[in-house]
Structure 1
């Protein structure tokens, strides 16, 4: 884990479109309890295939860099296939797709964090094709497990969320507009709130 004078502000800057933040916290009485819980929760964060049972609305399937189902913890370069309620896209063959851009653990003298950053992408079998997600590929989702003193938090931070309506088939653009606008006005917030709550379950 990187340490000493580390910049812990790893959330990408908000430039355009919508933004969302979902945070849940747990408080502990001792450093040992907080440290153990942080370590266990950080492992849970990487178990992407389990996210669906916490989030409640969508299901998540980790796929490797070749687009093959992966029953393991997430790694940089992996894909995540998302099955949200309602029709999927033609570009995504019925699903929305993001790629794992970054996974790291950082620490300084005050806090420790484990995080994953994902970004909309095309289908793994069509890597130069249209973005197969209801947001444009400028959007990011940053999932963080953070320990600060005796407090452990689970967080999701969405940035630069703009509906993906510029390219692809008409039905895809229409669907992405509806889903993207619903997310922009906060209808996706309950899902991410449930996820961060679930990550903090014992």
Structure 2
């Protein structure tokens, strides 16, 4: 996990849709806040438990070789997402993202840990087709942040464009429908449940 005080973890918005979901909790002391911050970071990296926090989609962590693993996430891993409804044919019934960056920053005023994921091909596929309803220009950045006595959990989606080019007819229609649903707010409740869960007692 990289430590750099000058990092800007959320990519700039260039095209398509964006989403920002934030939850926060305030404590009486910095010590109490730090305890939850550390717990929330562990939860963030425990991808296999995200479904329990979000109460919706199921998430499963895979290593860089496409092997299912039961451990905390690291850079280079993949996440298999089981979205309600028909899955992506390119992803063998699932949507997939690649963990391209896990980084952290500690300054006198705040601390944060961020994990950025990007739509990817199925890790065991010989094809390069993106197995996700969004194109691989999209990113989701998950952040746990502490500022004094306040702890935040955040999800920031950027450059969310439907994945409808260079995919099969089935995936083209399916990806467009799912992406439009996400654009019109249907993904917000899931991410809100997740960030709330990361900060729960």
TM-score category (smaller protein): over 0.9
SS in 1 for 2:186: coil
Q: Find the aligned partners of 1:161 and 1:190 in 2 and give their Cα distance.
A: 17
Go from structure 1 to structure 2 and tell me whether the alpha carbon gap of 1:141 and 1:127 turns closer, same or farther (over 3 Å shift). Answer: farther
Q: Which runs of 4+ in 1 moved over 2 A?
A: none
Bigger drift between 186-195 and 53-62 goes to: 53-62
How many equivalent residue pairs? 200
Aligned residue number for residue 170 of structure 1: 169
1:85 aligns with 2:102: no
2:31 is matched with 32
Alpha-carbon distance in structure 2 between the residues aligned to 1:34 and 1:100: 27
Superposition pairs of residues 11-160 of structure 1, within 5 angstroms? 11-126=10-125, 128-160=127-159
Q: Which runs of 5+ in 1 are unaligned?
A: none
Deviations 1:60-118 (A, max 9, x none): 00001111111000000000000000011110000000000111221112100011000
Distance of 1:200 and 1:150 partners within structure 2: 13
SS of the residue 2:23 aligns to: strand
Name the TM-score, length of structure 2 as normaliser: 0.96
Q: With structure 1 as the length reference, what TM-score do the two structures score?
A: 0.96
In the alignment, the residues of structure 1 paired with residue 109 and residue 6 of structure 2 have an alpha-carbon distance, to the nearest angstrom, of: 12
Unmatched 5+ stretches in structure 2: none
| 1:2 equivalenced with 2:21 (yes/no) | no
CA RMSD in angstroms, aligned pairs only = 1.1
